Amino acid sequence: MSTRTLIRGGLVVTAADEIHADVLVEDGRVAALAAHGTPAAESWTADRVIDATGRYVIPGGVDAHTHMELPFGGTFASDTFETGTRAAAWGGTTTIVDFAVQTVGRSLREGLDAWYAKADGNCAVDYAFHMILSDVDASSLKEMDHLVEEGVTSFKLFMAYPGVFYSDDGQILRAMQRSSANGGLIMMHAENGIAIDVLVEQALARGETDPRHHGEVRKVLLEAEATHRAIQLARVAGAPLYVVHVSAEEAVAELAAARDKGLPVFGETCPQYLFLSTDNLAEPDFEGAKYVCSTPLRPREHQAALWRGLRTNDLQVVSTDHCPFCFTGQKDLGRGDFSKIPNGLPGVENRMDLLHQAVVDGHISRRRWIEIACATPARMFGLYPKKGTIAPGSDADIVVYDPHATQTLSAATHHMNVDYSAYEGRTVTGRVETVLSRGETVIENRTYTGRAGHGVYTPRSTCQYLD
Ligand code: URP
Ligand code: ZN
Ligand code: ZN
């Protein structure tokens, strides 16, 4: 039986437009938009009407960088696909692209199947996968082709974490050559991990064990150098490149220089680099461990370059790199040795709100908010226009957003399965009110109405900026 929902009276904001329009949803998809009050809109009948007067009606967020249940440093990221996608829904994100992991010595197939199994039947919102390559050899290179055909069209490589996820320059070049042939997109963790490990060893030998030293050894220059090297390797291979979690001004400059040359090089940053800094890493009593992630938080002076990059399109996407570890029992594995603190921050629930705060603060426009959080990640990773916009035929992944409500971010009220908030006590303006995922209400007037298993796996086409 056909179900029709009408979202009436809101300001529809997409990356392209802002219009006072009613949105008709039918059978999980957007059926039509019509200017509010026009005869067309007035003629619509529906089983359910959502009054969006005074609200924004925006596409559900697309978070292209999450790590549910990621094994790291002898523990696992504390959000499962069930808890993490529920939290995503609360925060107005209706699609995540998570990273399946290849274990060294094992196939991509085995890693990907393990991630399908973790997610299957558990997700509140839709999901897709990238693949982390930890062991680039002849057989994994060949497997990349099959994954692209299957809808896993992007591959993360690490220039950091020797002995774990690390690939050397030869492996990186080969993977890039392969992606240039099969249409895949290489996503790069750009930090010189070999040099960083030397600095880690030297810092620990000097007795520098506190969390703030994590930021000090993972130097800006080693992010910039790796970013530069990744770009040159991609040029040699004739491959596009997407650099993840960019945090340093100097790395943005490398991306900008490459883009000025017309190269297909893209960059992502994350809310933690825009809103937090080394001041947090330096918090006393080991509290700084809450902010240990890689690339690390930078001195706050870097934030201006990141905002500028987002405005000038030298950075195109804001994802969360959601990778939560509880302070008690997980982050404290690194008491007395910062290098043993599991790397990662929670954030999947906070991204849309923090970026709306950036609109309020004047860093970005409303449409740019939707572009960097919804439309561009969808296009970058082959999900557009199914995801990332509100247009006839698109999935009805829609958020009714109250731009005037204020809220205070806190672990006491968030829904992520982690015992702290990286933004504890921060008050922001704007709040998710109602969320539809493929036409089904998953958050209704700030009550969770979704269910594990509603979210479905969504295969992706290749990057839509390369056609
Ligand atoms: O600290 C981080 N970013 N943890 C997750 C793994 C990664 O490198 O993205
Ligand atoms: Zn990374
Ligand atoms: Zn990550």
274 lines ligand 1 (CB under 6 A): no
Ligand 1 atom closest to 343 (CA): 1
Mutational pocket test of ligand 1: of 63, 67, 159, 340, the residue with most ligand atoms within 8 Å of the beta carbon: 67
Asked if residue 431 lies in contact with residue 350, where contact means CB atoms within 8 angstroms, the answer is no
293 lines ligand 1 (CB under 6 A): yes
* Residue 195, pLDDT above cutoff 70: yes
* Residue 439, pLDDT above cutoff 90: yes
Q: Please tell me the distance between residue 322's alpha carbon and the centre of ligand 3 in angstroms.
A: 7
191 lines ligand 1 (CB under 6 A): no
Strands, DSSP E only, in 143-264? 154-158, 185-189, 241-243
At CB < 8 A and 24+ separation, what contacts does 169-174 make? 169/229, 169/233, 171/133, 171/136, 172/136, 172/230, 172/233, 173/233, 173/236, 173/237, 174/136, 174/141
Q: How confident is the model at residue 235 (pLDDT cuts 50, 70, 90)?
A: very high
CATH architecture of 1-467: Alpha-Beta Barrel (3.20)
68 lines ligand 1 (CB under 6 A): no
Q: What letter does residue 409 receive in the DSSP assignment?
A: -
Work out the angle between the directed axes of helices 108-119 and 138-150 (0-180°, nearest 10).
Answer: 40
For residue 411, with 0-12 CB atoms within 10 Å meaning exposed, 13-18 middle and 19 or more buried, which class applies?
middle
* Residue 2, pLDDT above cutoff 90: no
Q: How confident is the model at residue 467 (pLDDT cuts 50, 70, 90)?
A: confident
For residues 379 and 463, give the distance between their C-alpha atoms in angstroms, rounded to a whole number: 6
* Residue 185, pLDDT above cutoff 80: yes
Q: Please tell me the distance between residue 452's alpha carbon and the centre of ligand 3 in angstroms.
A: 24
Domain ranges, ordered by start, for the chain: 1-467
Q: What is the pLDDT of residue 1?
A: 59
Q: What is the mean pLDDT of the chain?
A: 98
Query: Mind listing the pLDDT tens digit for each residue in 19-74?
Result: 999 999 999 999 999 999 999 999 999 999 999 999 999 999 999 999 999 999 99
Strands, DSSP E only, in 319-418? 398-408
Q: What is the pLDDT of residue 168?
A: 98
Ligand 1 atom closest to 244 (CA): 9
Dihedral Cα 74, 65, 403, 453, nearest 10 deg? -80
Take atom 3 of ligand 1 and give the residue whose Cα is closest: 294
Please give the single-letter amino acid code of residue 374. Answer: C
Residue 146, token pair as written in the block: 């099959």
265 lines ligand 1 (CB under 6 A): no
For residue 185, with 0-12 CB atoms within 10 Å meaning exposed, 13-18 middle and 19 or more buried, which class applies?
buried
For residues 380 and 366, give the distance between their C-alpha atoms in angstroms, rounded to a whole number: 20
Asked if residue 297 lies in contact with residue 312, where contact means CB atoms within 8 angstroms, the answer is no
294 lines ligand 1 (CB under 6 A): yes
Q: Scanning the structure block, which residue is given the tokens 């559900």?
A: 60
Ligand 1 atom closest to 293 (CA): 1
Query: Residue 129: which H helix or E strand, with range?
Result: strand 126-132
Q: Measuring CA to CA, how many Å separate 300 from each of 182, 227, 281?
A: 40, 20, 12
Ligand 1 atom closest to 67 (CA): 5
Q: Please tell me the distance between residue 71's alpha carbon and the centre of ligand 1 in angstroms.
A: 11
Dihedral Cα 178, 183, 188, 193, nearest 10 deg? -10
